[in-house]
Amino acid sequence: MQMIETDKAPKAIGPYSQAVKYENFLFVSGQIAIDPDTQEFIGGSVEKQTERIMENIKAILEEAGLNFNHVVKTTIYLTDIGDFEKVNQVYGRYFTEHKPARATVGVSALPKGASVEIEVIAGI
């Protein structure tokens, strides 16, 4: 097992790793819209938050020598399921031809007042 960490993504805000490589998989912890340069939650629209999240995930994948084509499963958490289409618009720019399995879950709240959180599992 190997912990993956990069300064190009936000530091964990709790007792967890940005990602863990185990056997043939990389498990990327749920990401909210935190700017890696300031370590501050950016807030704003759900689209803006999703863009920041996807860029953070991209940085973590790259640190492990992977990219979005390696992602096999994603889970999206939304505080307002009505934002489903808005998140899909941004998410779809990162998964064009390759489309991993996915679940989207409505939740009552997320850390730091985030509207969206995304976690991924990638195959190595």
Q: Sketch the domain layout of the chain as residue ranges.
A: 2-123
Q: Which three-class secondary structure state does DSSP give residue 1?
A: coil
Mean pLDDT score of the chain, rounded to an integer? 97
Compute how many other C-beta atoms are within 10 angstroms of the C-beta atom of residue 108.
5
When pLDDT is cut at 50, 70 and 90, the band that residue 13 belongs to is confident
Output the CATH code of domain 2-123.
3.30.1330.40
The whole-number average pLDDT for the span 6-24 is: 95
Spatial strand order of the sheet with 2-4 comes to 2-4, 19-22, 25-31, 116-123, 71-78, 101-106
CA dist 71 and 91 (Å) reads 13
- 82 bridge partner residues: none
pTM: 0.96
Would you state the pLDDT for residue 27? Answer: 98
For the stretch 62-108, pLDDT in tens is 999 999 999 999 999 999 999 999 999 999 999 998 999 999 999 99
